[in-house]
Structure 1
Amino acid sequence: MVTATDLLRVEDLGISFTTMGGPIHAVRNASLRVLPGKVTALVGESGSGKSVTSQAVMGILPNTANVRGRILFSDPATPGKTVDLLEMPVDGEEIRAIRGSRIAKIFQEPMTSLSPLHTIGNQIGEVLAIHTDLPKAERRARTEEMLGLVGFKNPKRAHDMYSFELSGGLRQRAMIAMALICRPALLVADEPTTALDVTIQAQILQLLRELQQKLNMAMLLITHDLGVVANVADEVVVMYHGEVMEAGTVEDIFRNPSHPYLKGLMAAVPHFDMKPGERLKALREIPINVEHLLGRKKEVAPKGDVLLEVRDLSKSFVTRSSGWFGKSEPPVKAVDGVSFDIKRGECLGLVGESGCGKTTVSKILMRALTPDSGSVIYHGANGPIDVLKAEGDDLRTLRTKIQMVFQDPVSSLSPRMTIENVLSEPLEIHNRGDAKQRSEKVKSLMEAIGLDKRFLKRYPHSFSGGQRQRIGIARAIALGPDLVVCDEPVSALDVSVQAQILNLLKDLQKNLGLTYLFISHNLAVVDYMADRIAVMYAGRIVELAPREVLMRKPVHPYTRALLAAVPFPDLNRPLDFGEIRATSVLEKGWAPQFRADEQDSLSPADLGDGHFVLARRNVDARELRP
């Protein structure tokens, strides 16, 4: 029975999918509610049934779904009337009048949700064209107004831009504008900040909260980030294997969690208060075995020696203002004089927002990009090698000694190759052993990452995201590298799977003597993994220090802003949205000693104990200490 206070009420929802092997039960007897003007967070791992539940609310389940139960919606626009969304024909006029207008959805991945062939304004205006009778000029005016409302500085220009011209954060804002253009009563937000940087995520969360209050809108927030939940939600529903494990107010859930699954989720989240040597408590530990891994180092090389020396890297890209033959804009400096060392056996964390140059640096190290200037020297067992000029045998050595784990475990594995082919390919390319030896090595790699050898004949699509990422890690260590570049290896994973992968990387580092360059925008993850941390902003490293120093006593204002934007899964440590400035205006608020002028340029100032900060040349280092 729906109450007068419920905007949406899901009762005994059951969703199953018909397959050749029998029905798969995705949701079992799930019940939840969303109150008017409030945020209900739906929390759980991948495969728990969160997104399927949201699809049922929107009426966009595939034809193979079998649904039972009730989804009751009480639209404030029609007081006293309650409708069951499941009783409406899937493509009927009733559900189409509600979908997109009264109930709207923000999808998880804005790049695949937005059409690359249509402008942003065209796609947002299409929603108005479907649900209203407004003339074209009025639709454009409304669209530009909404683009301004979600944070676009120049709405008129943004209206005529394409999705591929926008950053991840701006694409997500465009998706929010499309969802809110008809002023819906309920917004379903499916992982709206998963792939975003902490500062952009904080801005999106602040934006959603402000718009929710301004439009008196309710929100069903689907996420696995408990930090986001603690800062945004009013009520929380925890799902596991299609069932609701626990539900209640955000106060009850965080202060008095009762279900073991919820307690396990909270223990799997990396946080800044972890003690040295403390491990994340994954819900399901991976049993790894590196004893039989061929190529395992008999004696781990001593720590402390410099393995990779990077000096004054610079890289610029030329963009065009519009069209194929448009006037060229001035080159954009993606990397601007970056220097650092990676010591053997350590993990150097590289953090910063999207567009700061992190991935460009990693591509230069892997020789996927050629820098405009600078040098990269690899100090191997047989002497130094110039990474940027290496040819012949030196280049083949580098290809085996420096490997990469990619951000997206789906697109980085070929869908046409079995896992056996994926793992044996690098061994074949570099002529390692005969067919029998390679087969044994592949089985050893599977043991090392905690996967069953029986899975070798399977294809990537039959594995979960976490398992695919483990396969990517196995491929990276197949040739016995010295340095592994990890480019956002856990950003697309749930917290429980993330804990598995991070623990696996730590175990492999310890057992195989690996060295990591760990690139991430998640500071809590970097705090758990790294020995030293370098912070990048606008193509430059603005601060570099040992982990405990940088996290406890940050000096540069950008580092402090990054730390302020991290959402904690703790009700006693809420985000201070007032402290989080937009990136575009961040630099204007910095103290003068961190800003260059015509008389004084910036250079790294040594604060002692391996702590460096980018500041004016003539400033005394003692003035920079907090």
Structure 2
Amino acid sequence: MILGADLLRIEDLSISFAMLGGRVDAVRKASLRVSPGKVTALVGESGSGKSVLSQAVMGILPKIAVASGRILFNDPLDDTQTDILKLSHDGPDIRAIRGRRIGKIFQEPMTSLSPLHTIGDQVSEVLTIHEDMSKDERYERTIEMLRLVGFPKPERAFRMYPFELSGGMRQRAMIALALICRPALLIADEPTTALDVTIQAQILRLLKDLQQEFNMAMLLITHDLGVVANVADEVVVIYHGEVMEAGTVEDIFRRPTHPYLKGLMAAVPHFDMKPGERLKALREVPVNASQLLGKSGGKEPPGPEILLSARDLSKSYKVRKAGFFRQPDETPMRAVDGVSFDIRRGECLGLVGESGCGKTTVSKMLMRAVTPDAGSILFHDRQGPIDVLRAEGAQLQRLRSKIQMVFQDPVSSLSPRMTVQNILSEPLEIHKRGTPKSRLEMVSALMEVIGLNSRYLNRYPHSFSGGQRQRIGIARALALGPELLICDEPVSALDVSVQAQILNLLKDLQKDLGLTYLFISHNLAVVDYMADRIAVMCAGRIVELAPREILMGAPVHPYTKSLLAAVPFPDLDRPLDFSALQAANASDMRNWSAPFREDDDGHGLATADLGDGHLVLARNNADVRELRP
């Protein structure tokens, strides 16, 4: 292939950082290309060098970075070739390319957008820097771009601040900012990692449409093979800074050759897994739960079949409509609306739904971190039932030790000022368990259980990887020997290979310690792997609840069907149907079929029993036989 045929060609790129402990090689002799109008996916785990490579293309490497090789950008606008590595970081030449000819979407839109400026100001600022336009022309171009990326009222969005937008809408604003100058190349760095499956489908469809409309090339950085299979034309697999395999999407998925790529594919949970089949993590974590048996009450006599019962839980929040210096006009927003379910002892109940549907609010009610407006929660302990909402004194203390939580973010949920030993021993100290010597023994046993060496006890959280930090969070939750573990998106921030480690660890612990899980996630493939039964939440209500195999194989509710239709499969033979996908309206009741919609007065829905534990929210007068698939 002649050089001019590539929009971007990277040749023998090496990037290293001079650190106190010695030189760190982030990228080693990497070579790849991006063709005009095509999507090249750069796939790899965290720490493999993907983002550093993208920084080099944008000319925003840190000053301590040492780079060699060539990054050749062939601009079709003026038919010139530029070696980006030779340009000064702040010179006029790189500024003419960066933001104007090469745009970038960053992974976390909340930290990438300024909280002090409106969306319109931030998007139009790019035009101020790169284009010779009047203020009115900049406004019109910005409004047009906001409309193109899917803002229904772009004039209103122009005046809004980032914190007023949802995660999906912030990502749309980030895309508008990157594309406002119509660049030849778009670098998308994990653009859908933290988004719900339906929002992810919207963003992927949007990127695909805009790429075709602008005839734009894209370098897509991701670790999600499902996204790659649905969007990419070519794939480059990188590991520890080295390119392991590269080729067309057909070659990579149908004929993978490198063991690392095969390992990545085997680590992805999918809907075709057989009962009892185990994810193949790249690096298995040895689990020794026998260390805790007898210390944390792992194998105890069986208790009541129902471990926890929640009935008619409701919670409303008042939304402030006025400014700080005026009398607030407060209108209640119902976050949870009449939620009822049971968690059986020893099972894993999955709770799925989009962001904002009330999943985390429900979990906080079970932990008594949020008080519901109405409803009841009963925890059926082996010593007798506990009214969660009214427990006090010793009973509340006992309840706290029986229900523990594993949080979504392994970074912010661990104190940066405490060593691992202090983090793991803190619950034991609060609940006055044992002596200092026995606590140290327990902490060492917990480290053994999660597959970390006890010599790491004096380290701080920042010295661990994301997966290791999440394992420490799990160990902390296990310290008091709980009966119910609430896992709130425990793997959403992790790579697919580390995710497989954590999911296998949780399954092993459930089997060995007799744990019960409430597993909250928006990743349906993960829930399918973990859960025995699945509850689907939408707009504060549970719209469908069924055993895993029934819900995944024969869903009834339109919202459940929309969620499943939006899941990107790492399989070329099962592509997302972007033309038929109504992901943007999945939670809009007006698009549901008549049996699942409320009456005009906002009432008339009840839980219908379809048999075999399959419950669905439908109209009072709906015929159960018609609801069955």
Interval containing the TM-score (normalised by the shorter chain): over 0.9
Residue from 604, 607, 610 that aligns with 1:607? 610
Q: CA deviation at 1:316?
A: 1.0
Amino acid at match of 1:275: K
Counterparts of 1:348 and 1:301, CA distance in 2? 22
Counterparts of 1:356 and 1:193, CA distance in 2? 19
Asked if structure 1 preserves the Cα contact closer than 8 Å seen for 2:408 and 2:488, the reply is yes
* Residue in 1 that maps onto 2:90: 91
Q: CA deviation at 1:120?
A: 1.3
Q: Which consecutive residues of structure 1, in runs of 5 or more, have no partner in the other structure?
A: none
* Residue in 2 that maps onto 1:268: 267
Which digits, 9 at most, give the CA deviation of each residue in 1:498-526, with x for residues without a partner?
Answer: 00000000001111111100000000000
Amino acid at match of 1:594: F
Q: CA deviation at 1:141?
A: 2.1
* Residue in 2 that maps onto 1:404: 405
Counterparts of 1:256 and 1:59, CA distance in 2? 35
After alignment, is 574-583 or 220-229 more displaced? 574-583
* Residue in 2 that maps onto 1:489: 490
* Residue in 2 that maps onto 1:587: 589
Distance change (3 Å), C-alpha of 1:303 and 1:220:
farther
Q: CA deviation at 1:588?
A: 2.4
Q: CA deviation at 1:399?
A: 1.1
Asked if structure 1 preserves the Cα contact closer than 8 Å seen for 2:402 and 2:484, the reply is yes
Counterparts of 2:564 and 2:259, CA distance in 1? 30
Asked if structure 2 preserves the Cα contact closer than 8 Å seen for 1:320 and 1:326, the reply is no
Which digits, 9 at most, give the CA deviation of each residue in 1:369-425, with x for residues without a partner?
Answer: 111111111111111111112111111111111111111101111111111111111
Distance change (3 Å), C-alpha of 1:232 and 1:474:
same
* Residue in 1 that maps onto 2:501: 500
Counterparts of 1:499 and 1:584, CA distance in 2? 31
Amino acid at match of 2:77: A
Asked if structure 2 preserves the Cα contact closer than 8 Å seen for 1:271 and 1:524, the reply is yes
Which digits, 9 at most, give the CA deviation of each residue in 1:61-100, with x for residues without a partner?
Answer: 1111110000000111112x10000000011111111111
Q: CA deviation at 1:620?
A: 1.5
* Residue in 1 that maps onto 2:62: 62
Asked if structure 1 preserves the Cα contact closer than 8 Å seen for 2:447 and 2:475, the reply is yes
Q: CA deviation at 1:301?
A: 4.7
Residue from 600, 614, 619 that aligns with 1:616? 619
Amino acid at match of 2:102: I
Counterparts of 2:166 and 2:502, CA distance in 1? 27
Q: Secondary structure at the match of 1:370?
A: coil
Q: Which consecutive residues of structure 2, in runs of 5 or more, have no partner in the other structure?
A: none
Q: Is 2:9 the partner of 1:9? A: yes
Q: Secondary structure at the match of 2:41?
A: strand
Q: CA deviation at 1:153?
A: 1.1
Q: Is 2:119 the partner of 1:116? A: no
Counterparts of 1:15 and 1:477, CA distance in 2? 41
Q: CA deviation at 1:303?
A: 7.9
* Residue in 2 that maps onto 1:416: 417
Q: CA deviation at 1:298?
A: 5.3
Amino acid at match of 1:350: L
* Residue in 2 that maps onto 1:473: 474
Amino acid at match of 1:621: V
Q: Which aligned pairs between 1:19-418 and structure 2 lie closer than 5 A?
A: 19-79=19-79, 81-293=80-292, 295-297=295-297, 299-302=299-302, 305-324=305-324, 325=326, 328=329, 330-418=331-419
Q: CA deviation at 1:296?
A: 3.5
Asked if structure 2 preserves the Cα contact closer than 8 Å seen for 1:561 and 1:579, the reply is no
Counterparts of 1:215 and 1:326, CA distance in 2? 48
Counterparts of 1:317 and 1:234, CA distance in 2? 46
Q: Secondary structure at the match of 1:330?
A: strand
Distance change (3 Å), C-alpha of 1:59 and 1:312:
same
Q: CA deviation at 1:326?
A: 6.7
Amino acid at match of 1:141: E
Aligned residues: CA RMSD: 1.4
After alignment, is 91-100 or 128-137 more displaced? 128-137
Q: CA deviation at 1:364?
A: 1.3
Which digits, 9 at most, give the CA deviation of each residue in 1:209-250, with x for residues without a partner?
Answer: 000000111000000000000000000000011100000000
Asked if structure 2 preserves the Cα contact closer than 8 Å seen for 1:303 and 1:346, the reply is no
Which digits, 9 at most, give the CA deviation of each residue in 1:250-278, with x for residues without a partner?
Answer: 00000000001100000000000000000
Amino acid at match of 2:432: N
Counterparts of 2:327 and 2:225, CA distance in 1? 46
Identity %: 73
Q: Secondary structure at the match of 1:331?
A: strand
Counterparts of 1:209 and 1:326, CA distance in 2? 46
Asked if structure 2 preserves the Cα contact closer than 8 Å seen for 1:199 and 1:580, the reply is no
After alignment, is 536-545 or 122-131 more displaced? 122-131
Counterparts of 2:459 and 2:271, CA distance in 1? 39
Which digits, 9 at most, give the CA deviation of each residue in 1:301-329, with x for residues without a partner?
Answer: 54871111000111111112352237525
Asked if structure 1 preserves the Cα contact closer than 8 Å seen for 2:40 and 2:233, the reply is yes
Amino acid at match of 1:541: I
* Residue in 2 that maps onto 1:18: 18
Asked if structure 1 preserves the Cα contact closer than 8 Å seen for 2:296 and 2:480, the reply is no
Q: Secondary structure at the match of 2:505?
A: helix
Q: Secondary structure at the match of 1:18?
A: strand
Q: CA deviation at 1:20?
A: 1.4
Counterparts of 2:531 and 2:181, CA distance in 1? 46
Counterparts of 1:302 and 1:588, CA distance in 2? 46
Asked if structure 2 preserves the Cα contact closer than 8 Å seen for 1:2 and 1:72, the reply is no
Q: Which aligned pairs between 1:536-575 and structure 2 lie closer than 5 A?
A: 536-575=537-576
Q: Secondary structure at the match of 2:290?
A: coil
Q: Secondary structure at the match of 2:291?
A: coil
After alignment, is 455-464 or 316-325 more displaced? 316-325
Q: CA deviation at 1:578?
A: 2.7
Amino acid at match of 2:420: I
Amino acid at match of 2:33: R
